[in-house]
Amino acid sequence: MQQITDEQLLKLLKNSESELFTLAEIHKTLIQSNIQTTIEELRRRIFSLFRDGYLGNEATGDGVHVYYIIYCPEQ
């Protein structure tokens, strides 16, 4: 996943059909965009964006965590 910046990742998520994302849905979106990554690398990048305030996180009733975009810098 070294191929894209955090800004590009946020923009890719912002332009997708959904507003809430599980890690699996984010992974699927990346693969559809021909961006290869491991689950562990994806987890690190998403957690970093969450920790820095670019993504929000909520747990669903069944304990699955979903992420949503709080801020996506426009370039």
Which pLDDT tens digits describe the chain residue by residue (75 residues)?
Answer: 678 999 999 999 999 889 999 999 999 999 999 999 999 999 999 999 999 999 999 999 999 999 999 999 985
Question: Could you tell me if 18 and 31 are in contact, meaning their C-beta atoms sit under 8 angstroms apart?
Answer: no
- Two tokens, residue 74: 């426009």
Please give the pLDDT value at position 61. Answer: 94
- CATH class assigned to 6-69: mainly alpha
pLDDT at position 57 is 97
pTM reported for the whole predicted model: 0.90
Yes or no: say if 23 and 39 are a contact pair by the CB < 8 Å rule. Answer: yes
- Amino acid 75: pLDDT: 57
